[in-house]
Structure 1
Amino acid sequence: MHRNHWYNQNQYWHNPGYYQQPINWQRRVTIQEAMDIAVERVPGQIVKVELDTKMGTLIYEVDIVTAQGVKYEVEVDVNTGGILSVELD
């Protein structure tokens, strides 16, 4: 008798289009990459970088002072390199 299974392993292992992009669980953004990402968003001089957690996610907090003297904090996700927030500090 044939049973329906909610889990179809062929869907995961034999369908090359199942995942839109490869996932690299080992790869993390370096501190230098995080600084480059932050300065690209907020041009200025980096005055401080910290590794921290926010809601269970590892982030880099990059403090930048612009040419006008305004200080910003840019949060960069360690796993994706995405910018989570840009705030006046």
Structure 2
Amino acid sequence: MNGKQTQQRISIVLGAFTLGVVLLNSSHAAGEGKAQSPAYQSSIRVPDQQNGERGEAARLAALARIDASRASSAALAQAPGTVLKVALDNENGNLVYSVEIKTASNEIKDVKVDAGNGTVLHVDSAGDEEEDE
């Protein structure tokens, strides 16, 4: 192997190493500046799904201490209107009811209600969720 080939190989190795360091640092920096979404915590914490969507739905329903009707009532007290949809969800380890409400001004609100005690944890416009991601 001549000197020119050795120099090329060293350059390739150093370039690959530098690229790896840059990628590692950028992914680390991106994680530091981002707050956990959602920023709330429910009274019932659950691990990530393990048995697929269908298995998780049954497991979550067994953990909930309030029903969808009570969650809807709590959400409507916070954001009056018409309930469009109620779903029991695992939101980053928080067991919550997601209640979609259409307000009198035709705005869609997404209200997160604690599935353990019925407390309203968060209210946002339905479009806000897509903007965060």
Match for 2:115: what amino acid?
Answer: V
Aligned to 1:58: 95
**Equivalences, count:** 64
- Following superposition, the deviation at residue 27 of structure 1 comes to 7.3
Which protein shows a greater Rg?
A: 2
Scaled by the length of structure 1, the TM-score of the pair is 0.67
Q: Find out whether 1:80 has 2:117 as its counterpart.
A: yes
Find 1:38's aligned residue among 75, 87, 104. Answer: 75
- Unmatched runs of 5 consecutive residues or more in structure 2: 1-62, 127-133
Query: Over residues 10-41 of structure 1, what are the superposed CA-to-partner deviations in whole Å (9 max), with x where a residue is unaligned?
Result: xxxxxxxxxxxxxxxx8711110000000010
Give the distance between the partners of 2:106 and 2:125, measured in 1 at CA.
11
- Flag the 1:47–1:88 CA change in 2: closer, same or farther, 3 A: same
Q: Find out whether 1:67 has 2:104 as its counterpart.
A: yes
Task: Give every structure 1 segment of 4 or more consecutive aligned residues whose post-TM-superposition deviation is greater than 2 Å.
Answer: none
Give the distance between the partners of 2:69 and 2:91, measured in 1 at CA.
20
Higher-strand-fraction structure: 1
Q: Find out whether 1:49 has 2:86 as its counterpart.
A: yes
Scaled by the length of structure 2, the TM-score of the pair is 0.46
% identical equivalent positions: 34
- Aligned CA RMSD, in angstroms, stands at 1.5
Higher-helix-fraction structure: 2
